[in-house]
């Protein structure tokens, strides 16, 4: 691998397009949406650059119109997974031996394609397959992914500059940023096209080769991402796509001696299960696999009695209900002081009732459908439980209808019990739980927020009082990896708020930062001595 360092363009965040009526981007996205919705495509596996069809088919359909099938994808079995592992290990030497600039160029080209001619395809796939509005698709499948590609190249260049501080006279010390020995297993969630793409590409930029398993409900956008990588010049075998059921794909991969790392985003339960399997298999592996997992959340907003109620309610509405609450960062528990409650209640009920929900191809909608029947069932069960509970009730929302799409109205559960189940468990949908606390109990409530749930991903405090803000910053130090003051807890931007949480929310390796990339290298220290000693004896040993 080349050690040469050249300057990469300084990245700036990809500007977010507005899609206002009459704008050219709105017109062209609508055309692409109609084209893609009118097709039913066949989606093969991609192993060593070759399309592979197993005939074991599953459907990708629209969550907001589940009878509408967008395509049929082929599922991998054990044999195909073994082929993908072989393809990744075979490709590694050539890929790793390329000068780093050559690998970086592939991803910089992918960024340019995505920012330009590929933008509509990536956005439309994410809207149709994952039920995102045009704005939610734009900030994810276009802008954040462009940022991942461009910023990761700049971060990687920075990582390569990390070299030993000193070389003693007559020697030269240097660090070679080798990729890991073996392949990386990337396992992605349904909810962000950008995360799905970053999981395989961040390790690949560093010279690793990858077996990639996308979420079954996001194979449609993954199919188009593979086309983008190919168009950008990614060589065969570097990223191998194997959709399929979790265990069918996961078990043979985790049993491979060449497993060098896992780059995972998804639920805590699945990551824990993978970690346990890896622990049990530990004697099999050539190296200790790197385990990077960004997992669940139960993200909070807590307001101090000095908070601005209007700003608070806007943050709750956007933070909890955009993309149907299916962001790992989405606010899902809120703590409001008693002095603000009458005003907050009126504003919140009015705002949530005004939310328009429906087909994402109708640009007047703020929300689409939840991802699938499983999620719909989870949300409905939590709503039904609150309706029947003695210590909780539905403040607003609560209507569910899955006749056409998996629609759950934005819902606020209010509870008098600070330990109520939905203040602790992740639901991953548009169902928020709210607790009103006595305004004199600010500090006690901070401790409750810290201790209520096992997660620690994102959190926000709203306050005007500077002392109160500082109390929140200190007492909630370990309650969130991304902490916001007077802002909603969603919407982290690459290069601005590196993202990730600790406790049950993951290994906190901050996707889209130098901290994440360093997990995909295994540095080799090289010391070269120009005039090696020729006598083993030291001067102190000489006669007096």
Q: Residues with Cβ < 8 Å from 487, sequence gap 6 or more?
A: 315, 460
| 511 in Cβ contact with 497 (< 8 Å) | no
CA 57 to CA 80: how far, in whole Å? Answer: 14
**Residue 426 interacting with ligand NAD (CB under 6 A):** yes
The DSSP call for residue 363 is T
Judged by beta carbon, residue 216 or residue 471, the one nearer ligand NAD is 216
Q: How long, in residues, is the chain?
A: 544
**Residue 294 interacting with ligand NAD (CB under 6 A):** yes
* 128-167 footprint of ligand NAD as x/- string (CB under 6 A): ----------------------------------------
**Residue 189 interacting with ligand NAD (CB under 6 A):** yes
Tokens describing residue 490: 């969603």
Tell me the closest approach of the beta carbon of residue 158 to ligand NAD, in angstroms. Answer: 22
Among residues 191, 208, 378, 516, which is the contact residue for ligand NAD, using CB under 6 A?
191
Judged by beta carbon, residue 193 or residue 208, the one nearer ligand NAD is 193
**Residue 265 interacting with ligand NAD (CB under 6 A):** yes
Task: Map residue 255 onto helix, strand or coil.
Answer: coil
Tell me the closest approach of the beta carbon of residue 281 to ligand NAD, in angstroms. Answer: 13
Judged by beta carbon, residue 79 or residue 247, the one nearer ligand NAD is 247
Q: Residues with Cβ < 8 Å from 540, sequence gap 6 or more?
A: none
**Residue 187 interacting with ligand NAD (CB under 6 A):** yes
187: closest CA among 120, 263, 122, 130? 263
Would you call 294 a catalytic residue per the annotation? yes
Tell me the closest approach of the beta carbon of residue 124 to ligand NAD, in angstroms. Answer: 21
CA 107 to CA 155: how far, in whole Å? Answer: 13
Tell me the closest approach of the beta carbon of residue 130 to ligand NAD, in angstroms. Answer: 10
What residues between 309 and 348 interact with ligand NAD by CB under 6 A?
328
What residues between 477 and 536 interact with ligand NAD by CB under 6 A?
499, 505-506
**Residue 213 interacting with ligand NAD (CB under 6 A):** yes
Given 14, 134, 328, 426, the catalytic residue: 328
**Residue 297 interacting with ligand NAD (CB under 6 A):** yes
Tell me the closest approach of the beta carbon of residue 45 to ligand NAD, in angstroms. Answer: 15
**Residue 266 interacting with ligand NAD (CB under 6 A):** yes
Tokens describing residue 452: 């209520």
| 213 in Cβ contact with 249 (< 8 Å) | yes
Tell me the closest approach of the beta carbon of residue 218 to ligand NAD, in angstroms. Answer: 7
| 183 in Cβ contact with 501 (< 8 Å) | no
Which of these ranges, 54-62, 182-190, 300-308, 345-353, lies near ligand NAD under the rule CB under 6 A?
182-190
Would you call 134 a catalytic residue per the annotation? no
* Phi and psi, residue 503, nearest 5°: 45, -135
* Phi and psi, residue 491, nearest 5°: 85, 30
Judged by beta carbon, residue 19 or residue 190, the one nearer ligand NAD is 190
Neighbours of 463 (CB within 10 A): 23
b/e 373-408 (16+ beta carbons within 10 angstroms → b) = eebbebbbebbeebeebeebebbbbbebebeebbbb
CA dihedral 254, 255, 261, 266 (to 10 degrees): 0
Among residues 96, 195, 357, 494, which is the contact residue for ligand NAD, using CB under 6 A?
195
**Residue 273 interacting with ligand NAD (CB under 6 A):** yes
**Residue 71 interacting with ligand NAD (CB under 6 A):** no
Given 138, 144, 294, 322, the catalytic residue: 294
User: What stretches of 255-340 show up as alpha helix (H) in DSSP?
Assistant: 268-280, 309-321
Q: Residues with Cβ < 8 Å from 191, sequence gap 6 or more?
A: 130, 218, 323, 326, 327, 328, 371
Tell me the closest approach of the beta carbon of residue 135 to ligand NAD, in angstroms. Answer: 18
Tell me the closest approach of the beta carbon of residue 305 to ligand NAD, in angstroms. Answer: 31
**Residue 457 interacting with ligand NAD (CB under 6 A):** yes
**Residue 406 interacting with ligand NAD (CB under 6 A):** no
* Phi and psi, residue 481, nearest 5°: -85, -20
Beta bridge partners of 50: 47
What residues between 225 and 264 interact with ligand NAD by CB under 6 A?
246-247, 250
- Straight-line distance from the first to the last Cα atom of the chain, in angstroms, rounded to the nearest whole number: 50
Judged by beta carbon, residue 133 or residue 375, the one nearer ligand NAD is 375
Interface residues with ligand NAD (CB under 6 A) are 187-192, 195, 213-216, 246-247, 250, 265-267, 270, 273-274, 294-297, 328, 426, 428, 457, 499, 505-506
Q: Which residue numbers are catalytic? A: 294, 328
């Amino acid at each position: 691998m080349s050690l040469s360092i050249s300057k990469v363009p300084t990245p700036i965040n990809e500007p977010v397009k507005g899609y206002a009526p009459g704008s050219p981007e709105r017109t062209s996205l609508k055309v692409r949406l109609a084209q893609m919705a009118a097709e039913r495509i066949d989606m093969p596996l991609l192993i060593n650059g070759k399309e592979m069809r197993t005939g074991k088919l599953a459907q990708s359909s629209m969550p907001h119109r589940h009878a509408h099938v967008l395509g049929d994808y082929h599922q991998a079995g054990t044999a195909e997974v073994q082929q993908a592992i072989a393809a990744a290990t075979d490709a590694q030497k050539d890929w790793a031996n390329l000068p780093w600039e050559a690998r970086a160029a592939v991803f910089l080209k992918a960024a340019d394609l995505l920012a330009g001619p590929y933008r509509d395809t990536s956005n439309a796939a994410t809207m149709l397959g994952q039920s995102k509005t045009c704005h939610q698709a734009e900030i994810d499948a276009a802008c954040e992914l462009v940022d991942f590609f461009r910023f990761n190249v700049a971060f990687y260049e920075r990582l390569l500059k990390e070299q030993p501080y000193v070389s003693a006279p007559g020697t030269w010390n240097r660090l070679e940023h080798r990729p890991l020995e073996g392949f990386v297993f990337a396992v992605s969630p349904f909810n962000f096209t950008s995360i799905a793409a970053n999981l395989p590409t961040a390790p690949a930029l560093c010279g690793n080769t990858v077996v990639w398993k996308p979420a079954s409900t996001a194979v449609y956008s993954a199919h188009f991402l593979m086309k983008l990588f190919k168009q950008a010049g990614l060589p065969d075998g570097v990223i191998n796509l194997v959709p399929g059921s979790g265990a069918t794909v996961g078990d043979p991969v985790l049993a491979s001696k060449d497993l060098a790392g896992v780059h995972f985003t998804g639920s805590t339960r699945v990551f824990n299960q993978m970690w346990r399997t890896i622990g049990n298999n530990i004697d099999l592996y050539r190296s200790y696999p790197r385990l990077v997992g960004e997992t669940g959340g139960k993200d909070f907003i807590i307001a101090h009695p000095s908070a601005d109620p209007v700003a608070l309610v806007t943050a709750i509405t956007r933070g909890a209900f955009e993309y149907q609450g299916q962001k790992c960062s989405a606010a899902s528990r809120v703590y409001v002081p008693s002095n603000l409650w009458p005003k907050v209640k009126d504003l919140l009920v009015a705002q949530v009732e005004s939310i328009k929900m429906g087909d994402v191809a109708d640009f007047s909608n703020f929300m689409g459908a939840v991802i699938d029947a499983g999620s719909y069932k989870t949300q409905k069960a939590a709503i039904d439980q609150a309706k029947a509970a003695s210590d909780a009730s539905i403040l607003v929302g609560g209507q569910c209808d899955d006749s056409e799409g998996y629609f759950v109205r934005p819902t606020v559960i209010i509870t008098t019990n600070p330990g109520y189940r939905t203040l602790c468990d992740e639901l991953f949908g548009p169902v928020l739980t709210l607790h009103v606390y006595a305004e004199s109990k600010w500090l006690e409530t901070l401790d409750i927020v810290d201790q209520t749930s096992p997660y620690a991903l994102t959190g926000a405090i709203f306050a005007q009082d500077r002392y109160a803000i500082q109390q929140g910053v200190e007492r909630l130090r370990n309650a969130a990896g991304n902490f916001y003051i007077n802002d909603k807890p969603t919407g982290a931007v690459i290069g601005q708020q590196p993202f990730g949480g600790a406790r049950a929310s993951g290994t906190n390796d901050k996707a889209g930062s130098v901290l994440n990339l360093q997990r995909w290298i295994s540095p080799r220290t090289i010391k070269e001595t120009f005039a090696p000693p020729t006598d083993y004896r030291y001067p102190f040993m000489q006669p007096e």
